[in-house]
Chain A
Amino acid sequence: MLKVNNIDVFYGNIHALKEVSLEVNEGEIVTLIGANGAGKSTLLKTLSGLLKPKKGEVLYQTQQIGGKPAQAIVKVGISHVPEGRRVFSTMSVEENLELGAYLRTDREEIKKDIANVYGLFPILGERRKQPSGTLSGGEQQMLAMGRALMAKPKLLLLDEPSMGLAPLIVKQIFEIIKMVNEKGTTVLLVEQNANMALSIANRAYVIETGKIVLSGTAKELQESEQVKAAYLGGL
């Protein structure tokens, strides 16, 4: 479904991604784990069109999408839930969801999908008129995910959905990720919480200072000594 071939991404002269290649197949949950500053967010931003690769290609279902503007990428069916949620703070929960459906014109279906999001995250329904900046961190994460789902993506990019959340909420969020995936949305999940991520993923990649250093099935990585030592808090 998504195939990244040897991309290089720079911030000015900082070389943030070095010949990164990765693949996501339809229906999978693939996770990308790595420490702070490894380049995880950079990769997602490149996939969603906020950054342009200097070299290499990004193929989405045979289309070359590397370097295309973000709105074109949303249109082909890739939605990105950014790190730190980035909800539109002074706008209401419902307005945030409407913005998620910005490129859609099927008004009736949009209404139904907003109701679906409220079904998935009942707390958002209760807070529909509230400015989203007043939501708790967990609620904002739910809103950011709901907002991305409003675009009806085929591929969902999630950047550290567990960041700063209590374990119970994290568990809830991960349940939802699994559910969304079971309903047919492919997921590329960036996490520092490697334990959680590997527990729901099919496959995984490990990134270190801009390079993919390891990849395999989630099970393989869970058992890898290298991963255990660096990311699973093993002894």
Chain B
Amino acid sequence: MEWIQQLVNGISLGSIYALIALGYTMVYGIIKLINFAHGDVFMLGAFIGFYAISRWEIGFFPALIISMVLCAIIGVIIERVAYKRLRSATRIAALITAIGVSLLIEYTVIFFRGASPEAYPEVLPKSSINILGVNISSISILILAVTIVLMILLQFIVHKTKIGKAMRAVSLDADAARLMGINVDNTISATFAIGSALAGAAGVIFGVYYTRIEPLMGVLPGLKAFIAAVFGGIGSIPGAMVGGLSLGLVETVVSALGFSLWRDAAAFVILILILILKPSGIFGKNTREKV
């Protein structure tokens, strides 16, 4: 029965990784950039949710939506200000810029509010539900439900809407997409907006679940979500979902087996194994390097 509880914990953690990993993978898919500032957007999302809940005294769902909207805007600003001019620059220049943006966000937050952690207000009732004789916290179930809804919504946007089709077209062949009349710049911005909104949602969920947030909280989950995206096959949306959930489960299992000090190492071991055994990831297509 202990195991079922661990499974639930793993899924909750994995949902957070998956939501962050989606933004990594979508941005990589469309401009081949590993946006290392993405974990910091997740952190901003957590803080936006925190201030929304504690200052304006609003509930979980309004805070979630406010955080998603503001993170979407922040993501677009980051793209327009920092990355857009680097479209034809070398990949390493863009990567270094992303690391710069990441540090800028982290230390701007520290500059304005200090580095001290914050305790997330309790917005959700601390009840639990009995399923098959196991008590599962309602927060876990809510996290899972929100994640599933967001993922279904994302699948719908990507596969059924015009902007989603444009996003896929641009990621496959930007010039051919231009010839269809697709505005590539706007499509890239939309991708950042959607990915950042998901990171914002992950931030609020993280805050509610783990109750402690701080300005550097995005670093490790960001890195792990990136690993999850690579594990799933970078550029693949289902890959990011599966990669995130798997990583959450693996980490929880490693902890539950009594190796909690090794928890963080597990992710990196997975990364190394993937890079050796199947660099394209589980859902990855054979890497077609564009020249």
Contacts and interface: CB of A to CB of B under 8 A. Distances in A.
A196 interface: no
Interface residues of B, number: 17
Contacts of B168: 88, 90-91
A227 interface: no
A48 B169 contact: no
B165 A91 contact: yes
B125 interface: no
Contacts of B165: 91, 95, 98-99
Contacts of A111: none
Given A98-B165, A99-B165, A102-B166, A80 B172 contact: no
Contacts of A91: 165, 168-169, 172
Interface residues of A, number: 26
A80 B179 contact: yes
B169 A88 contact: yes
Interface of B is mostly: helix
A47 to B, nearest CB: 11
B180 interface: yes
Contacts of A148: 179
A68 to B, nearest CB: 12
B176 A74 contact: no
Interface in B164-179: 165-166, 168-169, 172-173, 175-179
Interface in A73-96: 74-75, 79-80, 82, 86-91, 95
A34 interface: no
Interface in B138-186: 162, 165-166, 168-169, 172-173, 175-183
B175 A86 contact: yes
Residue of A71, A75, A82, A151 with highest tally of chain B CB at under 10 A: A71
B181 A75 contact: yes
Nearest to A148: B179
A51 B176 CA distance: 13
B164 to A, nearest CB: 10
Nearest to B172: A88
A100 interface: yes
A75 B181 CA distance: 7
A56 B179 CA distance: 22
Contact of B179 (A74, A75, A90, A98): A74
Given A88-B168, A90-B168, A95-B165, A100 B180 contact: yes
Contacts of A48: 179
Nearest to A147: B180
B180 A151 contact: yes
A49 interface: yes
Contacts of A103: 180-181
Interface in A147-161: 147-148, 151
A48 B176 CA distance: 11
A5 B178 CA distance: 24
Given A91-B168, A98-B165, A99-B169, A49 B178 contact: yes
Residue of B178, B180, B183 with highest tally of chain A CB at under 10 A: B180
Contact of A70 (B166, B169, B178): B178
Contacts of A49: 178
Nearest to A73: B181
Contact of B180 (A50, A69, A74, A90): A74
B180 A99 contact: yes
A71 B169 contact: no
Contacts of B169: 88, 91, 99
A102 B169 CA distance: 11
A130 B249 CA distance: 35
14 contacts: A49-B178, A50-B179, A70-B179, A70-B181, A71-B182, A82-B176, A82-B179, A90-B168, A90-B285, A91-B168, A102-B182, A103-B180, A147-B180, A151-B181
